Structure 1
């Protein structure tokens, strides 16, 4: 019998956070190893654990998985969070890809040059309220169900609640014009597994701070003069 999944990444959100969310929503406990030094990262490469020399790394079911999308797809399929047929899976994929576009903007924001932060923050708000949230507001209204696809929790729902909460951290009133998303947020936040994940002391990570940014740059970038958003 396989043990708990093992998550190897930094002690912060980044590309691992949606993986944490999806495992938590599936009710799966996991272990974490946090990287603090470049030497730890280079050892993973030397050992052959990082196929493309990229994080995150998840050890699950005897595999060492890399590439965030592949990891999430595997978890969603394994725990029945990926729709009942190919059509539902395709819709989930479309929703997930769009949400990922938004969450990537949020993920990269702490690495923005100081002069670009105000512009990038405004772009997050603009994209959330004019490109992404209106689509999900309409989808929920037309679908008339509690969840985005079918009437069952899916990977897309988990990604969406993660995105909503991340945007709200920057813009607390962002859902003021989206009643369907407000109701969705309440439903999702009260699901037992997700409610547990939202409690203090859970594996959910806090918004990235300067220490997290410095650690990521130190571990991933050998030459500080080449520092760009990882």
Structure 2
């Protein structure tokens, strides 16, 4: 029997958080080995664990997988969260790319200089309200189904819920103009595996604070 996947990353969200979300949604238990200092990263590089010298890295099924998208594709495909055919996969990919764009804007905000933060914070809220969330609102309204693709729970649903919750941390009432997304959030949050991941004490990581940002900058020479 294969062991649990082992995740190598910092003790924060970053690019690994969506991987944590997807494994949790699939009901897969995983272990974490945290990169807490520059020396930890160098050790992984020197022992050949990082194909492109970068984390995230996930040890899974005898592989040391890098590149976030490749890892997510593999987990989604393995656990039947990636649609039933190429058309559904294409839709899932499009929806995931959209939520990724929004989440990356939020993830990068704490790393920006103070003079840029206010402007970029406003841009995040504007883009969420006018570019990203209206798309998912329309999809759900038009097909009248419980999930984004194929009326079946998929990676796209997991990713959208993660994006919603991240954006609500920036602006708690962001969903007020989007009744379909409000209902979607309630449905997906109550799927047992996700409900468990949302409970205190899970492996879900909190938003980055100043101490963590300072640590990340030191590890990665930012």
Q: Which residue of 1 aligns with 2:115?
A: 115
Residue 212 of structure 1 and its aligned partner are, at CA, apart by: 1.4
Matches within 5 A, 1:35-74: 35-74=35-74
Residue 2 of structure 1 and its aligned partner are, at CA, apart by: 0.9
CA distance in 2, matches of 1:7, 1:162: 19
Matches within 5 A, 1:127-142: 127-142=127-142
Q: Which residue of 2 aligns with 1:126?
A: 126
**1:105 and 2:82 correspond:** no
**1:150 and 2:150 correspond:** yes
Structure 1: gaps spanning 5 or more residues: 222-226
CA distance in 1, matches of 2:215, 2:78: 32
Residue 151 of structure 1 and its aligned partner are, at CA, apart by: 1.1
Q: Which residue of 2 aligns with 1:95?
A: 95
Matches within 5 A, 1:1-230: 1-221=1-221, 227=222
CA distance in 2, matches of 1:214, 1:59: 27
Structure 2: gaps spanning 5 or more residues: none
CA displacement 1:100-127 (0-9 Å, x = unmatched): 0000001111101111110110011011
Residue 214 of structure 1 and its aligned partner are, at CA, apart by: 1.1
CA distance in 2, matches of 1:93, 1:49: 27
**TM-score, normalising length: structure 2:** 0.99
Query: Helix, strand or coil for the counterpart of 2:8?
Result: strand
Residue 211 of structure 1 and its aligned partner are, at CA, apart by: 1.5
Residue 216 of structure 1 and its aligned partner are, at CA, apart by: 1.0
Residue 72 of structure 1 and its aligned partner are, at CA, apart by: 0.2
Query: Helix, strand or coil for the counterpart of 1:126?
Result: helix
- Count residues in correspondence: 222
